[in-house]
Chain A
Amino acid sequence: MEHNDYIPKPAKLIGIKEEVTGGRAIKTFRAKFLNGHGFSHQCGQCAMLSVFGKGESMISISSSPLQKDYLQFSIMKTGRVTSALHSLVEGETIGIRGPYGNNFPIDDWQGKNLIFIGGGIGLAPIWSVLQTALGRKDDYGDLTLIYGSRTSADIVYKEDIQALRDKMTVHLSVDVEEPGWEEFVGFVPANVKDKALKPGNAIAVTCGPPIMIKFVIMALGELGFTDEQIYTTVENKMKCGIGKCGRCNIGPHYVCKDGPVYSWAELKKLPPEY
């Protein structure tokens, strides 16, 4: 049979974890390919997830390539397909095709200090690179996570983040004051400035809502980070995932194929259509 990129391969949901509940619910899914299907991905890549009868959504793979047992996706319930995904239970089958897009150039970052800056569900797209850096800790310098969410109830990977504290520096924040919260209160960019991150020999990787990314980049610039030291991962509406359907473009770039990972030096040259 001819190779056909549009055909999803079956994968069983082997774990579903509720991260956040309510109007902006987030669940983390672990999926394992059936019948010997599968692919190996790189940090920052995405995959098209199918719920048959509802459609497809492009979701970033949040598990590290070092994790060979399953693929992990953290998904906010926001539309038709993601709502259908949220209604699935363990043992059910979804379709997956991919991996798509470019990746974080982690091999080029060897020996550098890595700073991860996430907001809300924006932690998921950088989680794979964070996990990989942890898995190859000797290859990198200091590792730092700055993560913020609206409230403490909106924090994803709660236990995992607690466990991280032994291995790397972790700074959390919530948007507004709440009882019992002892860490930073305010938006993520403010926390970035508050922690006075040092640009020397560092790479900053950020993802979150578009407005947060914008201000984080500004904050990093103020702290002396160069455009080449800042990386982000962007999203646009996608249908094919392979650079043909024409809607995810930012200028001549297709985010699905040429992105989603960009250094700020690259991204700032493109039109702001994301």
Chain B
Amino acid sequence: MEKILTKQSFPEWIEKLSAYKVYAPIKKEDHWDYEVVEKAVGLDPAYGNAVLSPKKIIFPQREVLFEFGSQTKEGFDLKENLPEDEAVVIFGVRPCDAKALTGTDKVFSGDFEDPYYRKRRDAATLVGLSCNTPPSKNCFCLSVDGSPFSKTGLDVLLTDLGETYFVETLSDKGEQLVNAASAFFSDSKKKEKKEVEKLQIDAEKKIVRQVKDVKSLPGKLKEIFDSSFWDDESLSCIRCGICTYLCPTCHCFDICDEVTCEYPLAGKRVRTWDNCQFPDFTMHSSGHNPRPDKASRLRQRIQHKYNYFVERYDEYQCTGCGRCIGKCPVGIDIIEVLNKVNEHGA
């Protein structure tokens, strides 16, 4: 359904959502970060995008899989630690970040369903916010089947019409959220729908950065695998984890045991984000490392996003949010790299 919500009523809507844990982007120093909303306020018009996408809520950087104790007659004490049943709503989700979750959905489902991810994902209602202006100068969603008004992966999409929001519900979860405070929403008119369409056209024109000929990349990347291109492109890489940790689609993780110094044994098996740019990511215990240098690791990041993932899941593992470009300490620009891949050998 399509509705209109005045900006004045927006905080009141949030207040009605007492059945949910509500997240929204909160300003921190010079960046935005999703945090639990203590007091309902409106979305700041200055909000661009959060430094970490809602990935950090659905797939938290640290998750205790289970707790273990010492050996018993039956084996050992083990306590599974699935997320609590708790409905979550996330406001201000940019279309690229919602689309990213549809990619991680594929990774965490399939023949080995990941119950931790699944529970958090099912419990979350995503309220998107169309990008009337691109949140970053490095936005390039249009190149990767996205759009600043994309509805993919969202339950509700809000479009800022100045004094009001145009509200589109996109799923049952989304309708429930609106129905929780239906009195605040009025029916939309044709005029407003037209306005949204116009805003979308304008917004798309404002996205200037572009990966050219993206469809040919998987093939090109296969051809270029052994090229010294990767050595040159990775020269300035400092092997930090910004590009992948900030990426809304990156899903790699580590599993480690964390123990206390106490006796008897007590500890937790913990899953944390991990990172293909770190040298120890692939290192065997023998010391052998299949990706021993930064060239092979940069290659892995690009190949995974624009070749391997496409082969496996038939979509790019990149939604064009531009985080890895804007935050790279040394200016490694995935758009530039991909365009060079396409031109390579031409």
User: Is A–B contact present in the complex under a CB 8 A cutoff?
Assistant: yes
When distances are taken between beta carbons in the complex, the residues of chain B under 8 Å from A35 are 74-75
When distances are taken between beta carbons in the complex, the residues of chain A under 8 Å from B303 are 251
A247 pairs with B281, CB closer than 8 A: yes
When distances are taken between beta carbons in the complex, the residues of chain A under 8 Å from B107 are 243-244
When distances are taken between beta carbons in the complex, the residues of chain B under 8 Å from A237 are 281-285
The answer, yes or no, to whether A10 is at the interface (CB within 8 Å) is yes
B255 pairs with A55, CB closer than 8 A: yes
B82 pairs with A2, CB closer than 8 A: yes
B307 pairs with A7, CB closer than 8 A: no
For chain A, residues 66 to 115, give those with C-beta under 8 angstroms from any C-beta of chain B: 78-80, 82, 92-93, 95
Our pick among A10, A55, A92, A251 for the contact of B74 (Cβ within 8 Å) is A10
The answer, yes or no, to whether A175 is at the interface (CB within 8 Å) is no
The answer, yes or no, to whether A240 is at the interface (CB within 8 Å) is yes
Q: Is the interface of B mostly helix, strand, loop or mixed?
A: mixed
Once the chains are docked, how many angstroms separate the CA of A51 from the CA of B319? 39
When distances are taken between beta carbons in the complex, the residues of chain B under 8 Å from A243 are 107, 110, 112
Q: What mask results when residues 4 to 28 of chain A are scored 1 for a CB within 8 Å of chain B, else 0?
A: 1111111110000000000000000
A34 pairs with B108, CB closer than 8 A: no
When distances are taken between beta carbons in the complex, the residues of chain A under 8 Å from B282 are 236-237, 247-248, 273
Minimum CB distance partner of A55 in chain B: B257
The answer, yes or no, to whether A135 is at the interface (CB within 8 Å) is no
B112 pairs with A34, CB closer than 8 A: no
The answer, yes or no, to whether A181 is at the interface (CB within 8 Å) is no
When distances are taken between beta carbons in the complex, the residues of chain A under 8 Å from B10 are none
B112 pairs with A5, CB closer than 8 A: yes
A273 pairs with B253, CB closer than 8 A: no
Q: What mask results when residues 306 to 326 of chain B are scored 1 for a CB within 8 Å of chain A, else 0?
A: 011101100000000000000
When distances are taken between beta carbons in the complex, the residues of chain A under 8 Å from B286 are 78
B66 pairs with A7, CB closer than 8 A: yes
Our pick among A93, A236, A242 for the contact of B284 (Cβ within 8 Å) is A236
For chain B, residues 76 to 130, give those with C-beta under 8 angstroms from any C-beta of chain A: 76, 78, 80, 82, 107-108, 110, 112-116
Once the chains are docked, how many angstroms separate the CA of A54 from the CA of B285? 14
When distances are taken between beta carbons in the complex, the residues of chain A under 8 Å from B74 are 10, 34-35
B291 pairs with A273, CB closer than 8 A: yes
Contact flag A3-B113 (CB < 8 Å), given A240-B253, A273-B291 = yes
Contact flag A239-B253 (CB < 8 Å), given A4-B115, A78-B286 = yes
Assuming A93-B71, A239-B254, what are 19 further A-B pairs, CB within 8 angstroms?
A1-B80, A2-B115, A3-B115, A5-B113, A52-B257, A235-B284, A236-B284, A237-B282, A239-B253, A244-B112, A244-B251, A244-B253, A245-B254, A245-B255, A246-B251, A246-B274, A246-B276, A248-B282, A252-B311
Residues of A participating in the B interface, judged by any CB pair closer than 8 Å? 1-12, 34-35, 52-56, 78-80, 82, 92-93, 95, 210, 235-237, 239-240, 242-252, 257, 271, 273-274
Q: Report the 8 A-B pairs with minimum CB-CB distance, sorted nearest first.
A: A10-B75, A79-B285, A246-B252, A242-B112, A252-B308, A252-B311, A273-B290, A52-B68
Task: Supply 11 A–B pairs (Cβ within 8 Å), ascending by A.
Answer: A2-B82, A6-B271, A7-B66, A7-B80, A34-B75, A52-B68, A80-B285, A237-B285, A239-B253, A244-B253, A249-B304
